[in-house]
Structure 1
Amino acid sequence: MEGKVSVEIVEKWLKGWCLSREVPFPVPYTSGFQVIVGDEKQKERYVFPELNDDFFRLAHSINEPWIHLKVSISPEEFISKIPERWRLQPQGYMMTCFQPMNFPEISLAKGYHLEFSEYNTTFVVRIAAENDEQASIGRVSLTDDMAVYDRIITEKNHQ
């Protein structure tokens, strides 16, 4: 199903991403979306549901650093067609689940505990060790009828 992500799903996912990161919502940009991130290592991000001429025109027009382009397709399909100044980042994946999710009863390893917090419509789940060292953290933002998981990390010494 690679490259066949609907515009509506990309927009909802991007809204959830924005909620998680507390940045302004996406605005339409040609056949994709633009987000003003405002971070020193990510000023803006452009997200396209599919590879098309809009993506290529933008890739050729941007000359400043720290602007990210994302498209739902494998890099092999575009990397040779964009300027060499672009740097490919590790791939990320958009996963979908269109049915109720079941969560089994689990318990944490001895010495770990769960902590919960929230902001806007984002819920943060943190797993901490006895010394309060962060072992793992993740966020889920609720937007429209979608849950968007973001920034899920397990620290190396707790894997």
Structure 2
Amino acid sequence: MDGVVQAWVTGWVVSRGAAPPEREPWGFTVDVGQLAQVSRHVFDALGDEVDERLVRKVADGVTGAGVWLKVFQDPEVVGDWLGEGWWVDPEPGCLMTVPLAGAAVGGTDVPDGYRKRVWSTGGVTRVLLAAPDGSLAARGQTAPTGATAVFDQIETASAHRRRGLGSVVMRTLQATAAAAGAETGVLAGTPAGRALYESLGWHVEAPLTSAKFMGRDAG
């Protein structure tokens, strides 16, 4: 999918309330404004198209703790490019897409005892599944930005997994995004969530490495 990284960045900043992305020669810089994530540099090349020289240059220019890199290549590869002070998530994430017109539909009813609530604020639609005791069972959100919609913060509490709740959340969000006019869904998935997304018609565009600068003397 052409422009998939830009689509993901554009929707992600809406979903998270981050600053509008700044275009860079190699991708995008996003100011997030949190202690654990001050900003992030997102490279727009995928897989073998990722330029080691550019990643090294950007990484070497980072001096403040709390800056992240998002590189669409395997962590075992990217980790060798980064110098002192970088923490690299050893688990490879993945950039995934789905054509919403052909995505799995139906199956949005919750099991007995659970409660579902859907609401939209500031261009973001959120789905909450509450357990019978009122605690969080599953959640997720989507930010449609025209022809694409980013799916974000999808999670199911450990005590409520393997009950189809993740599918309910995703199917509800997919239907909502399609109704808003989005044609393609985009997300950055974890290894734990990949099987769920693939079962709903999503496919992997590229692996994803997440790296955080901890400081030169991080120990």
TM-score in terms of structure 2 length: 0.66
- Within 5 Å, give how 1:35-74 maps onto structure 2: 35-50=30-45, 51-52=50-51, 53-74=53-74
Contact 1:30 1:54 in 2 (8 A): no
SS of alignment partner, residue 134 of structure 2: coil
Higher helix share: 2
Contact 1:59 1:82 in 2 (8 A): yes
Give the Cα separation in 2 of the matches to 1:14 and 1:123. Answer: 17
* Structure 2 CA distance for partners of 1:142 and 1:99, relative to 1, 3 Å: closer
Q: Deviations over 1:94-136 (max 9, x none)?
A: 1112351231334322110110111122100000123321111
Does 2:74 align with 1:79?
no
SS of alignment partner, residue 33 of structure 2: strand
SS of alignment partner, residue 96 of structure 1: strand
Give the Cα separation in 1 of the matches to 2:9 and 2:18. Answer: 11
Does 2:150 align with 1:148?
yes
- Tell me: higher relative CO, structure 1 or 2? Use CA pairs within 8 A at least 6 residues apart: 2
SS of alignment partner, residue 38 of structure 1: coil
TM-score in terms of structure 1 length: 0.89
RMSD: 1.6
Match of 2:124 in 1: 122
The answer for unaligned runs of 5 or more in structure 1 is: none
Give the Cα separation in 2 of the matches to 1:12 and 1:113. Answer: 32
Match of 2:11 in 1: 16
Match of 2:97 in 1: 96
Shifted more, 86-95 versus 98-107: the winner is 98-107
Give the Cα separation in 2 of the matches to 1:99 and 1:115. Answer: 22
Q: Deviations over 1:4-60 (max 9, x none)?
A: x74x22111111111111111211122110000001100000000222232210111
Match of 2:133 in 1: 131
SS of alignment partner, residue 39 of structure 2: strand
